[in-house]
Amino acid sequence: MTDIEHERYRLNLENIAKETKFLAVTRFLASRLLGNPYMSVEEFLTALTPDDLSLLLDVCEHAMSLDEDEEHEVTRIDELVLISNMLALGEGLDNADLDTAMNRTNQLSVFLTLESLKRKGLAKLYYENMSFGEDFNDKVIAEKP
């Protein structure tokens, strides 16, 4: 869950880790960050099970097709926001305002899609360039194998 404080998202990792309504991957990430506050995007992506990756990609796909009548189904999409911002915190980045949080969520969707393509042998990834930091926006993160 997030608390809005000065128009920024503040993550409560303990509450996220305990919330049984969240996906196991979301709770695991929160627990992992409680024990060790550093985690790279590479560590997260490569540790995803095929089922977790597929589930997160399904959530991303569903997020793109939501219409206004489906606002009650937003809880899984909220988890994408949580995951992307927890990963940003794991990189040492600051709490996000709404625009930054949404940009990070879009980046996470791209990272997940690229990880899926890599696992199928359709992309070569440069994990060291995968980051939520603005200074990485112009870095190459993938190419054809």
Torsion of CA 95, 1, 37, 41, to 10 degrees: -80
pLDDT tens digits for 44-96?
999 999 999 999 999 988 776 655 555 444 468 888 999 999 999 999 998 87
Question: How much is the pTM?
Answer: 0.86
Cβ atoms of 28 and 5 closer than 8 Å? no
